[in-house]
Amino acid sequence: MTLAATTHPTPRLYWMIALILAVVTAAEVGASYVDAVEPVLVPLLLVLGAVKFGIVVAFFMHLKFDRPLFRSLFLVGVFGAIPLFVVVLLTFGAL
């Protein structure tokens, strides 16, 4: 299902997104109870969290439907914050 930049999503699409987010959340909770995934639990949860973050930003913050400039500014802020966060953690010896 593709949407033009001017088309607003329908309530049905929002319900589908909510269902996808619920399934990903259930997978996160379920993974935390499975001992077999313990060695890869943290990377798995980080990836699933990033997927949920991307979905929420794209649809509920309407970045998927905004001008590319707004999307770019948001992404620069997000990806700029990650190295800054790492530097702060390194400064205080948390990493």
* C-alpha distance from residue 4 to each of 52, 58, 64, 66, 95 (Å): 22, 14, 10, 10, 44
Domain co-membership, 40 together with 72 = no
Q: Is 1 inside a domain boundary?
A: no
Q: Is 87 inside a domain boundary?
A: yes
pTM higher than 0.85: no
Q: Which amino acid is at 32?
A: S
The number of distinct structural domains making up the chain is: 2
Q: Is 16 inside a domain boundary?
A: yes
pLDDT digits (tens, 9 = 90+) for 79-90: 888 899 899 999
pLDDT digits (tens, 9 = 90+) for 29-62: 999 999 999 999 999 999 999 999 989 988 888 7
Domain hosting 92: range is 66-95
Q: Where does the pLDDT of residue 2 fall: very low under 50, low under 70, confident under 90, or very high at 90 and above?
A: low
Is 15 within 8 Å of 35 (Cβ atoms)?
Answer: no
Domain co-membership, 50 together with 75 = no
Domain co-membership, 88 together with 57 = no
